[in-house]
Amino acid sequence: MSGSPGFTLREARPRDAEAVLAMVRGLAAYEKLEHEVVASAQDYYGALATRRIQGLIAEIDGEAVGVCLWYETFSTFAGRAGIWVEDVFVAPEHRRHGIGLAFFRALARRAVAEGHAWMEWNVLDWNEPAIAFYRRIGAVGREEWTDQRLSGDALKALAG
């Protein structure tokens, strides 16, 4: 898979687990969420090997400089699958060279080819550069929806 002059995109493989972890940590630092990263390279190795998560790696001269991770979802309303984009990260020194746009274009092509109903993702409300980029590519915010999460002790209590 190609990118544009200066970088290439390729499918993420299990052996990319260390690079994926490093980029997820970079994303967490940017989002001020380092404390939430508890994943290990082994976790990414297993998830990529079983295709629980899929990904693209952006490379420059063989070095990973960006990652896009996603998984398939299913909409009971649409009766079709969708793509949930979990993470997109480009190393700061490689931003503004089209890598993010290349990630979203490649994933959009995949979504259309595979008959997915849509692509969805979250963005932190303070991340104005990302929101502006998403608007430029045609994404629409879903203001009426609020994410919910059940984890930790609350998850265990409900399960018990």
Could you tell me if 65 and 91 are in contact, meaning their C-beta atoms sit under 8 angstroms apart?
yes
Could you tell me if 85 and 97 are in contact, meaning their C-beta atoms sit under 8 angstroms apart?
no
| Mean per-residue pLDDT, 45-63 | 97
- Please check the confidence at residue 2 and state whether its pLDDT lies above 80: no
Average pLDDT, the chain: 94
Catalytic residue among 44, 45, 71, 134: 134
Strand 80-90 and strand 119-120: the pairing is: parallel
Among 1-15, 73-87, 108-122, which is the least confidently predicted range?
1-15
| Mean per-residue pLDDT, 6-28 | 97
Could you tell me if 73 and 82 are in contact, meaning their C-beta atoms sit under 8 angstroms apart?
yes
- Is 30 noted as a catalytic residue in this protein? no
pLDDT tens sequence across 125-142: 999 999 999 999 999 999
CA dist list (Å): 104 to 25, 31, 71, 122, 156: 21, 20, 14, 14, 36
Amino acid in position 98: G
Whole-model pTM: value is: 0.92
Q: Residue 4's pLDDT band (boundaries 50, 70, 90)?
A: low
Give the per-residue pLDDT at 143. Answer: 86
Could you tell me if 34 and 99 are in contact, meaning their C-beta atoms sit under 8 angstroms apart?
no
CA 133 to chain centre: 15
Give the per-residue pLDDT at 5. Answer: 61
- At 103, list the tokens: 């990630």
Beta bridge partners of 69: 55, 87
| Mean per-residue pLDDT, 75-96 | 95
